[in-house]
């Protein structure tokens, strides 16, 4: 049976670079693994009243159920104001509730950040990691994946160009799979 890795792109924009990277990573799954992109587009902003009054929007229930089916997660994030986009932080909040029923607990993750500029979303990458520590999501440390000048990496059809970045991403995915395996072995 294949291990399922969810890919979350932290952007809602139709032509999002994070979404394009997610599509590129989707095709890098090795044998024995299935990668799937999980959309964040329909998630309402989390409100504790949803759970307190058993009035949970269907989109939240659907997201939680889908996240329960994955064994690990690759987060692909841009940077908004030196942090993660609200849609990605909201997904963390939605999945972490109700208290004691987090869909994130112990699911090995990787963080790939990107930016049209040279800083390659360093701030977002590390802010996301702070939240993942609290959520008990073991996160791959090496290789670190910071992708600068992301707008230059795609062809006119939005496909990741062949070359050093694509090769690096494949190496990062391969490293994640090895790391994932080590972090999911039964003791």
> What are the sequence ranges of the domains in the chain?
3-184
Contact at 8 Å (CB) between 77 and 93? Answer: no
Could you tell me the CA-to-CA distances from 94 to 11, 20, 85, 156, 183 in Å, in that order?
A: 16, 24, 14, 35, 24
pLDDT class for 176, splitting at 50, 70, 90?
very high
27-68 pLDDT, tens digit each = 999 999 999 999 999 999 999 999 999 999 999 999 999 999
Instruction: Name every residue whose Cβ is closer than 8 Å to that of residue 70 and which is 6 or more positions away in sequence.
Output: 4, 5, 6, 36, 38, 107
Q: For residue 52, which of 98, 100, 101 has the smallest C-alpha distance? A: 98
113-162 pLDDT, tens digit each = 999 988 878 999 999 999 999 999 999 999 999 999 999 999 999 999 99
Could you tell me the CA-to-CA distances from 6 to 2, 47, 50, 71, 112 in Å, in that order?
A: 13, 24, 25, 8, 13
DSSP for 71-91, written as a single string: SEEEEEE--BTTB--HHHHHH
CATH of 3-184, one of 1.20.1250.20, 3.40.50.360, 3.40.50.150, 1.10.287.950: 3.40.50.360
pLDDT class for 15, splitting at 50, 70, 90?
very high
């Amino acid at each position: 049976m294949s291990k399922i890795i969810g890919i979350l792109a932290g952007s809602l924009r139709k032509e999002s670079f994070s979404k394009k990277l997610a599509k590129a990573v989707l095709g890098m799954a090795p044998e024995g693994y299935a990668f799937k992109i999980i959309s964040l587009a329909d998630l309402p902003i989390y409100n504790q009243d949803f759970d307190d009054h058993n009035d949970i929007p269907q989109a939240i229930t659907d997201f939680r159920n889908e996240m329960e089916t994955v064994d690990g997660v690759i987060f692909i994030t841009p940077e908004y104001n030196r942090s993660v986009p609200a849609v990605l932080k909201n997904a963390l909040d939605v999945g972490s509730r109700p208290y004691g029923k987090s869909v994130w607990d112990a699911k090995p993750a990787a963080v790939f950040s990107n930016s049209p500029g040279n800083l390659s979303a360093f701030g977002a990458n590390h802010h996301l990691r702070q939240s993942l520590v609290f959520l008990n999501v073991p996160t791959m440390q090496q290789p670190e994946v910071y992708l600068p000048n992301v707008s230059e990496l795609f062809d006119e059809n939005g496909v990741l160009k062949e070359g050093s970045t694509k090769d690096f991403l494949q190496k990062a995915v391969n490293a994640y799979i090895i790391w994932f395996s080590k972090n999911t072995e039964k003791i």
